[in-house]
């Protein structure tokens, strides 16, 4: 089965390192035979607030949110690439997940069960994060806190049980040579993910 890779660039600015990483990863994956779809948070238009915390409101999905949902269902592998801001993903990206990961799409409540059914099983993810925080501080002082939230409470919760994290940091100290090395490493990751042999479910 040809890998279907959904690349999501979660930086809000223009001409940012994260966008360059996303473009590089996507192109390497395409050249290695994967089908690739790309979305960029900075070009999306949607209300980031979920008005009904119980998911029972009548909030209409904007086209960009619906497209994001469709790409998650379509893919066999998801690669979100985004900066670490105040220990987490950018606010509008979190809002997008609030709006998109709905019952019937990402999970389903099962009567009598403490945990819901995972509706996006059979897929995996590689999370690529840029950060001004040095890796040893992130690991030792903050105990990789965001990895736990993204990995356990989001990805695993909806079915992306196989996932990995890659951080490039500290970005504000990186010179041109180091950034070029990061881009080259990201291209290699895109190639690896495109060529990876995966036992995936047939997904729509």
Model confidence pLDDT, tens digit, residues 49-104: 998 877 877 789 999 999 999 999 999 999 999 999 999 999 999 999 999 999 99
The model scores a pTM over 0.85: yes
Residue 10 phi/psi, 5° resolution?
Answer: -105, 20
* Local confidence pLDDT in tens for the 204 residues of the chain: 679 999 999 998 877 898 999 999 999 999 999 999 999 999 999 999 998 877 877 789 999 999 999 999 999 999 999 999 999 999 999 999 999 999 999 999 999 989 999 999 999 999 999 999 999 999 999 999 999 999 999 999 999 989 999 999 999 999 999 999 999 999 999 999 999 854 444 443
| Alpha carbon distances (Å) from 61 to 24, 26, 172 | 30, 27, 37
Residue with tokens 């979100």: 80
The whole-angstrom separation of Cα 181 and Cα 172 is 15
Burial 103-112 (b: 16+ CB within 10 A, else e): eebbbeeeee
Joined tokens for residue 90: 């950018």
Domain coordinates in residue numbering, the chain? 4-195
Joined tokens for residue 95: 């809002």
Residue with tokens 């949607």: 46
Calculate the average pLDDT of the chain.
92
Fold of the 4-195 domain: Rossmann fold (3.40.50)
| Alpha carbon distances (Å) from 57 to 53, 60, 63, 120, 143 | 8, 9, 18, 23, 36
């Amino acid at each position: 089965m040809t890998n279907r890779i959904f690349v999501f660039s979660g930086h809000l600015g223009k001409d940012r390192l994260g966008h360059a990483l996303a473009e590089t990863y996507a192109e390497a994956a395409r050249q290695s035979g994967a089908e690739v779809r790309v979305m960029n948070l900075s070009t999306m238009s949607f209300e980031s607030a979920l008005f009904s915390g119980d998911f029972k409101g009548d909030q209409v999905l904007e086209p960009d949110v619906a497209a994001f949902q469709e790409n998650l269902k379509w893919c066999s592998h998801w690669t979100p690439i985004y900066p670490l801001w105040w220990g987490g993903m950018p606010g509008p990206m979190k809002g997008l997940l609030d709006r998109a990961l709905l019952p019937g799409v990402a999970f389903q409540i099962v009567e009598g069960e403490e945990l819901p059914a995972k509706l996006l099983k059979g897929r995996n993810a590689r999370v690529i994060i840029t950060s001004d925080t040095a890796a040893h501080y992130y690991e030792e002082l903050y105990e990789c806190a965001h990895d736990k939230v993204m990995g356990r409470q989001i990805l695993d919760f909806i079915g992306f049980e196989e996932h990995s994290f890659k951080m490039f940091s500290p970005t504000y100290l990186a010179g041109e040579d180091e950034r070029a090395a990061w881009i080259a490493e990201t291209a290699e990751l895109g190639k690896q993910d495109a060529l990876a042999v995966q036992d995936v479910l047939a997904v729509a």
